[in-house]
Structures are given as structure tokens and as C-alpha cells.
């Protein structure tokens, strides 16, 4: 489980995150969506969880099962790259791929970065087969097999996004944080992108925390919903809240009921 405890982040006078306490992954593999109006503090929260920002108050804690007991690790001061080893991986709103490489080369590069500490010349042959096996699995999981030899920059945005998330998956996350994975993706491709991510996360029991503006996607795919408003948790719970809570609808959609 990944836990935010009383997180606060200020930019000058502005409190972008204010006393936010949340837990992700109490049910392993759950899909949590973070929603809220512009400026609510969604990206700031993800930046605090992944270590891009340091909180002014509060902490980030990872709970792990070891020999049947739960061990708590405070990762608040840990650098983002070290958090990857603690199982926390993120993908940004803007796709980060190697544009001139093929899809397969991109996924292989990400997979190798996980192995680079353990591969030596002596084990290269064994390691090679293992890496290529992982690459094939990831290509299949993210429905990228048929375009594995295409160059990344030539792909439609939906496939580029899936490649980006496949590369995040190559780092073997337990918690995957996604900042608007469907931003810039054509409407007809959005469901396909989210559905592929949901299937991959379910299969690997990866807990996914996703910022999303498209409420239809949230309704269809969220196991749980977190609504941020003015830096605070405004609501948390079942995605049905989107239908049944007039105050929430007002905050999100500006709809007066
Ligand atoms: N690095 C920064 N320096 C100063 N202010 C910032 C910084 N990052 C965010 N903010 C401010 O903090 C508030 C929350 O921003 P944040 O990007 O977290 O909101 P958001 O909910 O992700 O918004 P959006 O949906 O528009 O992406 C905003 O008022 C924003 O202007």
C-alpha cells in the first residue's frame, strides 16, 4: 500500500496541497482515478508521491509484506529514481519515448534499465533471453506486437501513449501513477488506451493512480474515485458519486442542481 499522510505543499501564498491523507492499493491492483477542476492540486499530489516535489509537511509511506508482517517505509526524502526501486513508477502527461527508435527498441531500452545492475558480461546470454522474453510479453500486453518495428515518431498518439505506459511497466511497478494518459488522444481511441492499461494493471496486480478529466472514462473504469478541490480531498469513494452527489457535480462540472 502507498500512503500519503497529511501532505502539504505551498507555492508562496498558495497552498496547492493541503492536509491530504490517502491510501492506494489496500486492494492490490485497484484503479484509482484522481479528478478535480483545473488547479485543484492533482499534478502536485502526484509530484509529491513520486518525489518530484518535497512536501512542506506530511510524509509518503510504502507498506510492504515481509514474512507475513507489514513493514512501513517512509520514502518522503527519497529521490524519484530510488522510488522506482520501491515500486513507484510514473508516466507524464507528455509522452516520453525515444522518437527515432522502433517500438521494440523503446521497450527493450526500458526493460534493460531494470536489469542493468544485475547483468554482467558473464550472464549476458541468459540475461538477453530473459529481457527479450519480457519485451515480447510487454508488446503483447499493450497490443503493440503488430507495430513493434514501426518508428515511434510515426505512430498515432494513442499507440505512443500505450508505448509510454508499456515502458513504465517495464520497470516492474507496484504503483503506477499516470498523469492524464488520454490527453491529446483522439476520442475514438481513448477507451482503447484506458482499457489496455486496465487489463495490463489487472493482470499484473499493479495499483494504478490516474489523473483524468474525461468523466465517462472515470465512470466506466474507476474502482475508486478521489476528488480534489482547492488542494484538499473533497470526496473519496465509489465512482457512483459522480451521478449521485449534486455538490460534487457542481464542483466538477459547474452544474447547479
Ligand atoms: N511549480 C509551481 N510553482 C508555482 N505554482 C504552482 C506550481 N505547480 C503548481 N502550481 C499551482 O498550484 C495549483 C495546483 O496546480 P496543479 O497543477 O497541481 O493542479 P491540477 O489539479 O493538476 O490542474 P490541471 O487540471 O489544470 O492540470 C495551481 O494553482 C498551480 O498554478
Residue whose Cα lies nearest atom 27 of ligand 1: it is 38
Per-residue pLDDT, 48: 96
Per-residue pLDDT, 85: 86
226 lines ligand 1 (CB under 6 A): no
pLDDT digits (tens, 9 = 90+) for 27-75: 889 999 999 999 999 999 999 999 999 999 999 999 988 888 889 999 9
From 15, 37, 43, 90, give the residue whose CB has the most ligand 1 atoms within 8 Å, as the site to mutate: 43
In the block, which residue shows the cell 507475513?
68
Does pLDDT of 121 surpass 60? no
Q: d(Cα 196, Cα 142) in Å, to the nearest integer?
A: 6
222 touches 239 (CB < 8 A)? yes
Residue whose Cα lies nearest atom 17 of ligand 1: it is 43
Could you tell me if the ipTM is greater than 0.85?
yes
Q: How is residue 80 written as a grid cell?
A: 524519484
For the chain, helix, strand, coil in percent to 5 are: 40, 25, 30
49 lines ligand 1 (CB under 6 A): no
Q: How is residue 60 written as a grid cell?
A: 509518503
Per-chain mean pLDDT for the chain? 90
Per-residue pLDDT, 186: 87
- How many residues make up the chain in this entry? 257
Contacts 24+ apart (CB under 8 A), 232-241: 232/18, 232/19, 232/20, 232/41, 233/20, 233/21, 233/22, 234/36, 236/22, 239/33
44 lines ligand 1 (CB under 6 A): yes
208 lines ligand 1 (CB under 6 A): no
Going by C-alpha positions, the residue among 137, 209, 217 that lies closest to residue 185 is 217
Does pLDDT of 122 surpass 90? no
CB-facing half-sphere around the CA of 93: CA atoms within 13 A: 11
Average pLDDT over residues 120-133: 70
Per-residue pLDDT, 167: 94
9 lines ligand 1 (CB under 6 A): no
38 lines ligand 1 (CB under 6 A): yes
Average pLDDT over residues 218-236: 96
- Ligand 1 atom nearest 213 alpha carbon: 25
Ligand 1 centre from 120 Cα, in Å? 43
Q: d(Cα 102, Cα 104) in Å, to the nearest integer?
A: 5
From 13, 42, 214, 226, give the residue whose CB has the most ligand 1 atoms within 8 Å, as the site to mutate: 42
pLDDT digits (tens, 9 = 90+) for 136-188: 999 999 999 999 999 999 999 899 999 999 999 999 999 999 999 998 888 88
22 touches 234 (CB < 8 A)? no
Per-residue pLDDT, 24: 96
Kindly indicate the confidence band of residue 252, based on its pLDDT and cuts at 50, 70 and 90.
Answer: confident
Per-residue pLDDT, 116: 61
Kindly indicate the confidence band of residue 257, based on its pLDDT and cuts at 50, 70 and 90.
Answer: low
95 touches 166 (CB < 8 A)? no
In the block, which residue shows the cell 521494440?
104
CATH H superfamily, domain 2-96+173-253: P-loop containing nucleotide triphosphate hydrolases (3.40.50.300)
48 lines ligand 1 (CB under 6 A): no
Per-residue pLDDT, 62: 95
Does pLDDT of 96 surpass 60? yes
43 lines ligand 1 (CB under 6 A): yes
Kindly indicate the confidence band of residue 205, based on its pLDDT and cuts at 50, 70 and 90.
Answer: very high
Does pLDDT of 118 surpass 60? no
Sequence-distant (6+) residues with CB within 8 A of 125 are none
31 touches 198 (CB < 8 A)? yes
Average pLDDT over residues 92-99: 81
In the block, which residue shows the cell 507489514?
70
Amino acid at each position: 500500500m502507498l500512503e500519503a499522510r497529511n501532505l502539504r505543499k505551498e507555492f508562496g501564498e498558495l497552498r496547492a496541497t493541503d492536509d491530504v491523507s490517502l491510501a492506494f492499493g489496500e486492494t492490490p491492483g485497484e484503479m484509482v482515478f484522481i479528478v478535480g477542476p483545473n488547479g485543484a492540486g492533482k499534478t502536485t499530489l502526484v509530484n509529491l508521491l513520486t518525489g518530484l516535489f518535497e512536501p512542506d509537511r506530511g510524509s509518503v509511506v510504502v507498506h510492504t509484506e515481509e514474512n507475513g508482517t507489514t513493514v512501513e517505509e517512509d520514502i518522503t526524502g527519497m529521490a524519484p529514481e530510488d522510488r522506482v526501486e520501491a515500486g513507484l513508477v510514473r508516466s507524464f502527461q507528455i509522452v516520453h519515448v525515444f522518437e527515432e527508435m522502433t517500438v521494440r527498441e523503446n521497450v527493450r531500452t526500458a526493460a534493460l534499465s531494470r536489469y542493468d545492475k544485475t547483468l554482467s558480461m558473464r550472464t549476458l546470454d541468459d540475461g538477453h533471453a530473459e529481457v527479450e522474453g519480457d519485451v515480447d510479453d510487454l508488446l503483447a500486453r499493450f497490443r503493440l506486437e503488430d507495430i513493434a518495428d514501426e518508428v515511434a515518431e510515426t505512430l498515432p498518439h494513442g499507440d505512443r501513449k500505450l508505448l509510454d505506459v508499456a515502458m513504465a511497466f517495464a520497470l516492474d511497478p507496484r504503483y503506477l501513477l499516470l498523469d492524464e494518459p488520454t490527453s491529446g488522444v483522439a476520442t475514438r481511441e481513448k477507451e482503447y488506451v484506458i482499457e489496455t492499461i486496465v487489463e495490463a494493471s489487472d493482470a499484473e496486480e499493479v495499483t494504478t493512480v490516474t489523473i483524468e478529466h474525461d468523466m465517462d472514462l472515470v465512470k466506466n473504469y474507476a474502482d475508486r474515485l478521489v476528488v480534489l478541490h482547492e488542494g484538499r480531498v473533497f470526496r473519496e469513494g465509489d465512482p457512483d458519486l459522480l451521478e449521485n452527489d449534486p455538490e460534487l457535480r457542481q464542483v466538477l462540472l459547474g452544474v447547479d442542481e
